[in-house]
Amino acid sequence: MERIENGIKETVIHAIFHLYGEQVSADLLLVQKTRREFSGDFTLIVFPLLKISRKSAEETADAIGHYCVSNNSYLKSYNAIKGFLNISVSQEYWFNFLFSELQREDYGTLPVSANSPKVMIEFSSPNTNKPLHLGHIRNNLLGFSISRITEACGNRVRKVNLVNDRGIHICKSMIAWKLFGNGETPGQSNMKGDHLVGKYYVEYEKVYRRQVSELIEKGADPEQAAEQAPILLQAREMLRKWEADDPETRELWERMNHWVYEGFNVTYKRLGVDFDKIYYESETYKLGKELVLKGLREGILVQKEDGSVWADLCNDGLDTKLLLRSDGTSVYMTQDVGTAHQRYAEFEFDQHIYVVGNEQNYHFQVLKLVLKKLGFDWADRLYHLSYGMVELPEGKMKSREGTVVDADDLLDEMEKTARQMSEELGKLEEYGEEQKEVIYRQIGLGALKYYILKVDPKKNMTFNPNESIDFNGNTGPFIQYSYARIQSVLRKASETGDRNIIMNLNDKEVYLIRMIYEFPEIISESASTLNPSLIANFLFDLSREFNQFYHDFSILSAESHELVVLRTHLAKAVGNVLKSGMGLLGIEVPERM
């Protein structure tokens, strides 16, 4: 069934030709949702048409409105306020739309074809020296949700992860394990592998700080002490050995990284996050070095006396950027150049989105400029989704000090809290233990995901676990409970019914239908702005409106059979959108709660 905005535009085109003898393009017509303080469903902005009508805004709006209502049965009335024509849509249209488009489970989404635009989305990008933490959770949830939303708009999406598995930070965990680990393994310690490696990253920092303090006490300059701490020098030597393919160093690196990957996979599975391809910095940095050295030979990049290679970006409003150290080892930028080049060669993306925190804004400015200087025009297709930091009520987290909120611990805590609150409210008393555990997991994970995704990605946020699990208010469990309530109604409802009689919809029913009608636009705007919070908050508003409707009007005990059928279909349409929308956020909705 045609969207009513398109019908309005088509009718207005006929009106202008009939009234003024001019043919206009639909692109000239601006039709938008009527503001709540005015009467009407959609508003036509008349001002661009005054050159054609050669009349006042009021006269033009009145003439077009009269023609539209007289010639389109779906338009019941209008009012003209200066240059704004507010048009009210008939109940017949909303009724027919409810029983056609709004009964589709995939309502609001577009199909993906072989000719759809190709979008690559990188998210997660962990280091293999520590487990995933709360900051990683926001990254993963944003990246996964944006991937689903982008695909729902008809794009071919490839979800990718770049694992930072090499470099000085990885060598810090390795040297600490080598010095103090006594051969400890995840099996011996009964720890997840990523937790065990993270333990030695924290140990490295403790030893490093102690050594720096000792050097300062002996009279060293603080800056010099920071560079000459023995354990740092050992880590740097280990990095040089790694890049020289030293067998012993490589064997230790592979063993510890394997521990980490096993741990990551468990956490990803619990989060419900997956990837189409995983890239490893250890496999892409060499390509980056080749491109940098090629740029140096061609005079695009510059080399300093110590042998380091730099990009001069001063004419672009930035400064100079290191691409290769004096000892020939790579930096993050080197491998990002190589990775971007490899990905374009493989996928020829129309857009590449990096989901990375706002502390890396400068990095991605530089990346685009360096790639452009190296002659890659597709660098303009790179986009950095710069999101804000996530903190706890008590303040910032610090990986080096071991004060982060571990992702696995947080997931355990969310499930535990969901169990406690559900038991206190007595919501799951009639279910078996196995079924309860599934629902506790869905509620806990849904609460976590929704609480994070309902915030605009560009904003910093404070995560409060206790606030996130609440069956009232703007929370995931509230929306999940609303969906479960609808499914309970549908299970009790009769599936038979005749809709041939046009019903008189009440204002609340029309309002709910109009809300659901807007779902495709919400998805589209969420995709174009890379902002899942638009969908999250829309779902909360829809749940709140439905629950108010459920409180004010009977569904299964309505006054007539026809009304029962109408309201059952309306409940089903709301449920479809809640399930679909939560799915775009990566959140499951229990059929029973």
User: With DSSP H G I counted as helix, E B as strand and the rest as coil, what are the percentages for the chain, rounded to 5?
Assistant: 60, 15, 30
State the greatest distance between any 2 C-alpha atoms of the chain, in Å, as a whole number. 93
Q: Which residue has the higher pLDDT, 226 or 493?
A: 226
Higher pLDDT, 501 or 324: 324
Supply angle C-alpha 425, 426, 432, rounded to 5: 140
In this predicted structure, what is the pLDDT of residue 504? 82
Q: Tell me 406's DSSP state.
A: B
The torsion region of residue 402 among left (phi > 0), alpha (psi -120 to 50) and beta comes to left
pLDDT at 49: 95
Asked if 397 contacts 135 with a C-beta cutoff of 8 angstroms, the reply is yes
With a cut of 80, say whether residue 140 has pLDDT above it. Answer: yes
Report pLDDT for 397.
43
Residues 277, 160: contact at Cβ < 8 Å? yes
Q: Which residues of 323-355 are buried (b: 16+ CB within 10 A; e: fewer)?
A: bbeeeebbbebbbbbbbbbebbeebebebbbbb
**Looking at the predicted structure, is the pLDDT value of residue 238 above 70?**
yes
Alpha-carbon distance of 135 to 406, in angstroms, equals: 9
Strands 118-122 and 156-163: parallel
Domains of the chain and CATH, by start: 4-89 (3.30.1360.70), 123-391 (3.40.50.620), 407-584 (1.10.730.10)
Taking only the tens place, the pLDDT of each residue in 272-303 is 999 999 999 999 988 999 999 999 999 999 99
Q: How far apart are CA 227 and CA 234, in angstroms?
A: 11
Amino acid at 442: Q
Structure tokens that stand for 189 in this block: 């310690």
For residues 174 and 424, which has the higher predicted lDDT (pLDDT)? Answer: 174
Contacts of 69 (CB under 8 A, 6+ apart): 75, 76, 77, 78, 87
Q: How confident is the model at residue 403 (pLDDT cuts 50, 70, 90)?
A: low
Q: Are 156 and 117 in contact (CB under 8 A)?
A: yes
Question: What integer pLDDT is reported at residue 497 of this predicted model?
Answer: 54
* pLDDT, average across residues 70-88: 96
Rounded CA separation 47/57 (Å):
6
**Token pair for residue 445?**
């994970």
Classified as helix, coil or strand, 216 is helix
DSSP string computed for 345-398: HHH--SEEEEEEEGGGHHHHHHHHHHHHHTT-GGGGGEEEEEE--EEBTTB---
pLDDT at 430: 78
Which pLDDT value is given to residue 454? 97
- Report which of 523, 515, 577, 582 is spatially closest to residue 549, judged by C-alpha positions: 515
Cα–Cα distance measured from residue 352 to residue 495, given in angstroms and rounded to the nearest whole number: 46
- Tell me the sheet residues that pair with 324: 309, 330
CB neighbour class for 553 (10 Å; exposed up to 12, middle 13-18, buried from 19)? middle
Phi, psi of 409 (to 5 degrees): -65, -40
| Token representation of residue 126 | 């962990």
Phi and psi at residue 141, in whole multiples of 5°?
-70, -40
Structural tokens at position 568: 């059952």
Whole-number pLDDT of residue 276? 98
Q: State the pTM of this model.
A: 0.92
Q: Vertex 209, ends 204 and 212: CA angle to 5°?
A: 125
- pLDDT above 90 covers a percentage of the chain that reads 83
Q: How far is CA 273 from the centre of its chain?
A: 12
Tokens standing for 345? 């060669």
Ramachandran class of 15: left when φ > 0, alpha when ψ lies in -120 to 50, beta otherwise: alpha
pLDDT (0 to 100) of residue 395: 53
DSSP 503: P
Kind and range of the H or E run holding 588: none
Q: What is the pLDDT of residue 79?
A: 96
- Predicted confidence (pLDDT) at residue 400 exceeds the cutoff of 60: no
373/228 Cα distance (integer angstroms): 36
What b-and-e string marks burial along 10-33, b requiring 16 or more CB atoms within 10 Å of the CB?
ebbbebbeebbeeebeeeebebee
pLDDT exceeds 70 at position 349:
yes
**3-state SS, residue 120:** strand
Cα gap 513→577, rounded to integer Å: 11
Average pLDDT, the chain: 93
Q: State residue 399's pLDDT score.
A: 44
Gap between the Cα atoms of 3 and 514, Å rounded: 12
User: pLDDT at position 162, please?
Assistant: 96
Q: Are 343 and 119 in contact (CB under 8 A)?
A: no
Q: Partners of 119 in the beta sheet?
A: 157, 351
- Residue at token pair 């409003």: 317
Q: CA 547 to CA 450: how far, in whole Å?
A: 19
Pairing of strands 351-357, 118-122: parallel
Rg (CA), the chain: 30
